[in-house]
Amino acid sequence: MSASTSSKQAPPPPPEPLRVAVADAHTHLDMQEGTVAEALEKAASVGVTTVVQVGCDIKGSRWAAETAAAYDQVHAAVALHPNEAPRIVHGDPDGWSRQGARAGGGDTALDDALAEIAELAALPQVRAVGETGLDHFRTGPEGRAAQERSFRAHIEIAKRHGKALVIHDRDAHADVLRILAEEGAPERTIFHCYSGDAEMAQVCAAAGYYLSFAGNVTFKNAQSLRDALTVAPLDLILVETDAPFLTPSPFRGRPNAPYLIPVTLRAMAEVRGTGEDELAAAIARNTARAFDY
């Protein structure tokens, strides 16, 4: 491996610490290098003192709940990812794909999985149900019925247990908003890795939905996200890593982790013309309110 290739895969250097502590509203510690304790220590050293660990399947959701029980700095979210639902129904071993339906678990298997998510959602360290929603990018038309059924079930689970709902919305804006309206959104609903435009941000704001921005808001081709950030109300904005994905510029392509939140937050402050400390304080308040901790 060349030195240049190695440097592109190396973790970015720690940024200057924030003066006002914030939370990473969405991360996947189970997909990152190193231990949980190491990740939390590194994050805390730059002012990221809380993380929301998000499950995407049964195994990951169990791990999220166990990790949140073991660490005060971690809160859990549990769910079947939108691309997990058709995999369960159709028995697709590859999952998260556009492949056609295969003989598999069927609706009963999905019901069983949803029942376990509901059990996990009742735990006190679990602060949210998610990430759930719709993904029309990775799952083709043949998997959308399973996605929608799963999404509606997760909305019900969140409301039943009084937990926040964390939305995954990829290329499915209109359908996500429609289903939220049809089912009645939970009191606290969060669009993780917000991907809509400014017009959608105004629709979400009118409904009281939180908009969580990730490192892709710093990408050159993401002007629509920056436009959305500009019009989003200050009291509905969150920041997240979605680590190990979506590493902010100038480190795009390298491993992401909660300690890089300051890079994204500073870029957000610049877009909004807001002071870093003011934005951090608002985000800290918003995240605590959104996840009720």
Please report the DSSP string for 16-63 in residue order. PPPSS-EEEEEE-GGGSSS-HHHHHHHHHTTTEEEEEEE-SSHHHHHH
> Is residue 151 one of the residues assigned to a domain?
yes
Flag whether pLDDT at 138 surpasses 80.
yes
Q: Please say whether the beta carbons of 282 and 235 come within 8 A.
A: yes
User: Computed from CA positions of residues 73, 285, 222, 166, in that sequence, does the dihedral angle turn out positive or negative?
Assistant: positive
Burial class (CB in 10 A: 0-12, 13-18, 19+), 62: middle
The pLDDT of residue 68 is: 98
**Residue 246 to residues 209, 213, 238, Cα–Cα distance (Å):** 22, 11, 15
> Is residue 119 one of the residues assigned to a domain?
yes
> Is residue 279 one of the residues assigned to a domain?
yes
Q: Is the peptide bond before 244 cis (omega within 30 degrees of 0)?
A: yes
- At 92, the amino acid letter reads D
Report yes or no on whether pTM surpasses 0.75: yes
Mean pLDDT, range 201-207, rounded to an integer = 98
> Is residue 44 one of the residues assigned to a domain?
yes
* Domain range for 55: 25-291
> Is residue 102 one of the residues assigned to a domain?
yes
| Tens digits of residue pLDDT in 223-264 | 999 999 999 999 999 999 999 999 999 999 999 999 999 999
Number of structural domains (the chain) is 1
Residue 105 binned pLDDT confidence (cut-offs 50, 70, 90):
low
CATH of the domain at 218: 3.20.20.140
> Is residue 188 one of the residues assigned to a domain?
yes
> Is residue 15 one of the residues assigned to a domain?
no
Smallest CA-to-CA distance from 210 within 167, 173, 246 is with 167
Q: Please say whether the beta carbons of 141 and 116 come within 8 A.
A: no
Mean pLDDT, range 268-280, rounded to an integer = 98
> Is residue 138 one of the residues assigned to a domain?
yes
Residues 71 and 63: their CA atoms lie apart, in Å, by 12
Flag whether pLDDT at 99 surpasses 60.
no
Flag whether pLDDT at 9 surpasses 90.
no
